[in-house]
Structure 1
Amino acid sequence: MKMNQFIEAAEQKAGKKTELAKILKISDGYIRMVKTGRRGFSDDVCIRLADYIGANRLEVIAASNLVTEKDEEKRKIFESCFTTAASVIFLMVAVGNSDLLYLDTNTYIFTVASYFVLC
């Protein structure tokens, strides 16, 4: 998912761009700069955004870094964050335990690991 999509989901939930800025504790100008690709959010803002919309924190942080990162090697690292999250979700659905899906990556991975240890 691209950063714009995360921001648009949050804007839709907040109702107004200015309200989202208050929730994230940043200026609406900062949001515009990220949407236009001139800047990325700091990690703490990414975490607030992810928590607000119920998204994976790591994916939002990676998407934010992809806004401005030019180095191809680093871009591949950030892009792999989306593949990892998608793989874990696929694995849980494949084993028929979608009830174990959590939005918090740390809890989710621990739950997945616990599940396979118990099996």
Structure 2
Amino acid sequence: MSVRRVMPDIRSEAMEESRDFYALLGFEEVMNLGWVMTLASPTTPTAQVTFISQDRSAPVVPDLSVEVDDVDAAYAAVQASGAEIVHALRDEEWGVRRFFVRDPNGRVVNVLSHR
């Protein structure tokens, strides 16, 4: 299994203001579903930051997202470790397969693959 990208997830009620601010640093909006928005560098597309007002299908807003090439293998490894699964593995309507796990620091990590 390999990591494709890692991005911070920032809880926000100021989506437009965040987009405008991070545009000053060179980021561009690449995804916006209203409740979640991702900005990326146009020259380094894996350099991203996500803003979330709420999570549409999960009980909490994650602190960090990690995209992997095989989310099913990651889920099996995390389950076998005994780590706390916060949101079970599932396919989401916006085209990702994901789960949430709590890391040793108490942070919630969104682990995903695009379908």
| Superposition TM-score, scaled by structure 2 size | 0.29
Select the structure that is richer in helix.
Answer: 1
Normalising by structure 1, we get a TM-score of: 0.28
* Structure with larger RCO (C-alpha < 8 A, sep 6+): 2
- Which has the higher Rg, Structure 1 or Structure 2? 1
